[in-house]
Each structure stands twice: as structure tokens, then as C-alpha cells.
């Protein structure tokens, strides 16, 4: 899939670096966590939903096979995808100031800066 999807390509290239850097910092910052649990994939899923679905009414809730998923998609798009205004803390890798997040962002930006700029350290929507 990587040759056909910038999203998959980004994750395939960043994952090994992320796991290596995470392992170095785990004992100090994230004791008890496994690197796979501290993923950036979910924040990018939400971001791409925001980019790809301009209007939640585009989702066909009457579709016989996918209607229920479309209902959930509408709720997620309206209530849990857009960034909240006025947050008083850094939540993106790119401006976190944390050595782990800064190192991962620098690598990610060499792969795909558009996606790297959207990586969240915590998801607050």
C-alpha cells in the first residue's frame, strides 16, 4: 500500500524510528507503556477525516451496508475532529519542546511535512 498512499508510506517510514526513539525515553517519560500504544496514527486519522469530509451530510446514512458507520462518521466529524480554539498548551509534536517529540517530528518532517505538522502529542478535540 505504501507506493499508493502517502498516509501508509508515512507510517511505514516513521514507525521504526518512532519505536527506537520511544525505547530510549520510555523509562523516564512513559514507564509501563509499549511504543505501539503511543501512536500518532489516531491523530492523523482524525486530521485526514477533517480534510476529506468537508460536510458530514455527505455520509450516506441510508446505505444498506454502510449506513450505521456513516451515522457514527457524522457524529465523529461534527463533535470530535476539528481542533479546539484557545488551547493554552502545546499539543503538536512540532512545537512541544519535549526532546522525544522534537526528535520524532524532525524525522517525520523529512518524510512528509504536511502530515508531520498534524501529529498530536495528545488528542484534544
Q: What is the mean pLDDT of the chain?
A: 92
Give residue-wise pLDDT tens across range 3-53: 999 999 999 999 999 999 999 988 888 888 888 877 788 889 899 999 999
Mean pLDDT of 64-92: 93
**Grid coordinates belonging to 118:** 498534524
pLDDT at 68: 98
Three-class SS of residue 72?
Answer: helix
**Cα-flanking dihedrals φ and ψ of residue 89, to 5°?**
-140, 160
CA dihedral 124, 45, 91, 57 (to 10 degrees): -50
| Domain locations in the chain as residue ranges | 2-116
- pTM (2 d.p.): 0.85
pLDDT at 100: 92
pLDDT at 11: 94
Amino acid at each position: 500500500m505504501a507506493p499508493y498512499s502517502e498516509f501508509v508510506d508515512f507510517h511505514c517510514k516513521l514507525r521504526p524510528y518512532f519505536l527506537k526513539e520511544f525505547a530510549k525515553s520510555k523509562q523516564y517519560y512513559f514507564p509501563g507503556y509499549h511504543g505501539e500504544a503511543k501512536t500518532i496514527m489516531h491523530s492523523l486519522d482524525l486530521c485526514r477525516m477533517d480534510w476529506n469530509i468537508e460536510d458530514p451530510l455527505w455520509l450516506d446514512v441510508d446505505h444498506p451496508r454502510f449506513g450505521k458507520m456513516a451515522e457514527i462518521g457524522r457524529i465523529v466529524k461534527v463533535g470530535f475532529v476539528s481542533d479546539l480554539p484557545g488551547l493554552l498548551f502545546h499539543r503538536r509534536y512540532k512545537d512541544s519542546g519535549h526532546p522525544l517529540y522534537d526528535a520524532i517530528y524532525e524525522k517525520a518532517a523529512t518524510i512528509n511535512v504536511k502530515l508531520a505538522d498534524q501529529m498530536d502529542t495528545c488528542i484534544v478535540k
